[in-house]
A and B are shown apart, each in its own frame.
Chain A
Amino acid sequence: MTTGNAIVNVTINDIPVSVPKGSTLLDAAKKVNVYIPTLCYCPDVGCGVANKPASCRICLVEAEGIRRGRKVLVPACATPCSEGVKVWTNTARALKARRTVLELLLSDHPQNCLTCTRNQSCELQKLTAEFGIREVPYQGVQNEIEPDTSSAAIYRDPSKCIMCRRCETVCNRVQTVGALTGMGRGFNAKVATASMIPLAESSCTSCGQCVNVCPTGALTGVSSVDKVWAALHDPKKTVIVQTAPAVRVAIGQDFGFGSTAVTGKLVTALRKLGFDKVFDTDWSADLTVVEEAHELVERIKSGKNLPILTSCCPGWINFLEHHYPDLIDIPSSCKSPMMMFGAVAKTYYAEKAGLDPKDIVSVAIMPCQAKKYEAARPEFERNGIRDVDYVVTTRELISMLKLAGINLSLLDDDNYDSPLGESTGASVIFGTTGGVLEAALRTVYLHLNGKNLEGDAINFRAVRGLDGVKEASVEIAPGKVVRVAASSGLGNARKLLDMVRKDRNYYQAIEIMACPGGCINGGGQPFTHGDHSILERRAASLYADDAANTKRLSHENEAVKALYDEFLGEVGGHKAHDLLHTVYHEDNRV
């Protein structure tokens, strides 16, 4: 819509404001700090895609100069500014219209806020409080649809849906997964799967981006929090926990730390909750790099099965199994860091600590909904014992801390337990797009050159940043250039994979993360409400953590070395394969 530098002038509540052509009335109001309530509108559901179907009408304002000769009510989120338009946000007519809109929304909404997962974080509830609504005057028919409990990761309660369509936008336009769609018409319209099949049978990848953008409790995660509490309270169990890289730069948001890394406080908090051992997924991220770099070097040398695709992200692996079964032989066979940790904890660690694996409960704190699905995959089990028992998201951990009265801001820092707690800077950047690739390249360099990267060369800046697709040509050894790419958001992955289908020789290594920006924006992270700058700060904190680390190469992780020396034997060897690698299954879905 924007043409050149054209400017239009409007007034908002009699305040003059100049905005670029194409701006909406809402943009103009924001510029002069005039608040207009919004609900269906979201400035960025992912990869810069806005959701503004103008369907909820909660942002109605009164405007003059849009239709000749009279003042009209228009939705501020979707009405472009034109020259000379006068807008009033709080006239009696606008306020009354907005109130009626909200009352009608509430007439078909369950009134069980007290026991809803989104109590105190629900956008509909927040608006109801702002509007001071004390009773719902309209008693209409309720849209009663049974919740969909089929998925191991995502719980859908359509009765709480307000048809804002944010989930549909992110699922179709950003992720190109297409699991959710608008079905039916009028009062019977609902967001649902194709032919109303259970979510678990649909093309859903469990990425959880729909959960992140849902303004109400219509889409939430499947919680294991109660089971984790039960394990913590069971004296016969040794409860161990691992924390994913991206959790440490997001959890502080609810305790006044913004996006700063609060690693040490997180460790203290988990000990206070009652976990017997606090370990780090960063440790197994280093382990992943060691295995995956070995695999990549083998493939580069043989020229077979290239490009290698990273396999840390279960949402992406689902996407591959559903839509690209013809490429199923090229992802790294490495399990994700979470699952590597799970397998090692109940074998190597159990043996070392003299514990029966049956008595260990392994909990993973993850930024992710798909990790719940991954932990439940049938192959991640030995002798009837699950590798990872429960996955708790960052948001769910915050709720556990609040229940236990643990305030991160009042805690001292502490260190992870040994031996599965040591990590390098290479592992912490796994939490954002490009990080897995960069960490792997650092170790691949050693394999191909016989020496470590030094100085600034350790920073592969070309694959950093939140762009959807990043690519680089890297001279990994004298005369040996590899072409690599990193993408985040499944729509961007699709672009790369379609290229790979056409030309298998163009790239040698590709990192894919399902969520836009990577795990920092995972489906289980504290809500960003479409504020992209939060993601930038989370990523910056991870890179700062890496830069501050004395060790920044995964293969220098002493605890990883010890695992091979004491237990696994060779990198890429038989035992390593048995414990740390997996296979993928074709699972065509449309």
Chain B
Amino acid sequence: MCEKKESAAAVEKYAQLDAFVDTLSIDKFDERRKGYLIQVLHKAQHIFGYLPREVQVYVAKKLSIPESTVSGVVSFYNYFTTKPKGKYCINICLGTACYVKGSETVLREVERVLGIKADTHPTEDGLFSISSLRCVGACGLAPVLMVNEKVYGKVTPAKAVEIIEEYKLKG
């Protein structure tokens, strides 16, 4: 039952991606179609949350380019991920300002509390995953922690744990 629901959701996601690619009116024989790759991958990651091989193959077929080209680009940019993210993706800034203000200790505490490592897999309940990033342009608030799109400033390890508890309650 659950699986069926998921596959219906997947169909919906592919339809969303299709709709986006269609707006680009890509000509299969035009060399310039390769220029759309990053744009399409951005959208795909936004829709699926990550870029597993199936999605990469789908994008390759849509743009008529080799799967290896897609895979190479995905592997090159830090932004793209081939691993699923949790419902709440905790991003901790390790840029210079945040780092000197102790963001690494925040990261270690979050890792300890959730029992997972940054840039690996989500927690078993699928709620949380951890990533690090370099500067969100809010250095005055250092150290910065983000949960999905929401930014938290002047975060301490203790405050980070409070934030996590908040989201746990939300579920």
Contact = CB atoms under 8 A, between A and B. Distances in A.
Interface of A: 172, 177-185, 193-195, 197, 202-203, 498, 589-590
Contact of A195 (B29, B66, B69, B71): B71
Given A183-B75, A194-B56, A590-B60, A202 B68 contact: yes
Given A194-B71, A194-B72, 8 more contacts: A179-B68, A180-B68, A181-B66, A182-B72, A184-B75, A194-B56, A194-B60, A195-B82
B145 to A, nearest CB: 26
A193 B76 contact: no
B29 A194 contact: no
Interface string B50-94: 000100110011000111111110011000001000000000000
A182, A183, A193, A590 — most chain B CB neighbours (10 Å):
A590
Contacts of B66: 172, 177-179, 181, 194, 203, 590
A182 B77 CA distance: 12
A425 to B, nearest CB: 40
Given A590-B57, A590-B60, A590-B61, A194 B76 contact: no
A201 to B, nearest CB: 11
Contact of B68 (A184, A185, A194): A194
B96 to A, nearest CB: 20
Nearest to B76: A185
Contacts of A179: 66, 68
B76 A195 contact: no
Contacts, number: 55
A177 B65 CA distance: 10
A183, A193, A589 — most chain B CB neighbours (10 Å):
A183
A142 B61 CA distance: 36
Contacts of A177: 66
A498 B29 CA distance: 9
A195 B72 contact: no
Q: Which A-B residue pairs are the 10 nearest by beta carbons?
A: A178-B66, A181-B68, A194-B71, A181-B72, A194-B68, A194-B67, A590-B67, A183-B75, A590-B60, A195-B53
Contacts of B29: 498
30 contacts: A172-B68, A177-B66, A178-B65, A178-B68, A178-B69, A179-B66, A179-B68, A181-B66, A181-B68, A181-B69, A182-B72, A183-B72, A183-B76, A184-B76, A185-B75, A185-B76, A193-B68, A194-B53, A194-B60, A194-B67, A194-B70, A194-B71, A195-B56, A195-B71, A195-B82, A197-B53, A498-B29, A590-B57, A590-B60, A590-B66
Contacts of B65: 178
B29, B53, B65, B71 — most chain A CB neighbours (10 Å):
B71
Nearest to B29: A498
Contacts of A203: 66-68
A178 B67 contact: yes
A119 B72 CA distance: 31
A498 B69 CA distance: 21
A183 B71 contact: yes
A172 B61 CA distance: 16
A589 B57 CA distance: 9
A181 B65 CA distance: 12
Nearest to B77: A185
A457 to B, nearest CB: 38
A379 to B, nearest CB: 27
A193 B56 CA distance: 13
Contacts of A184: 75-76
B99 to A, nearest CB: 20
B45 to A, nearest CB: 15
Interface in B19-67: 29, 53, 56-57, 60-61, 65-67
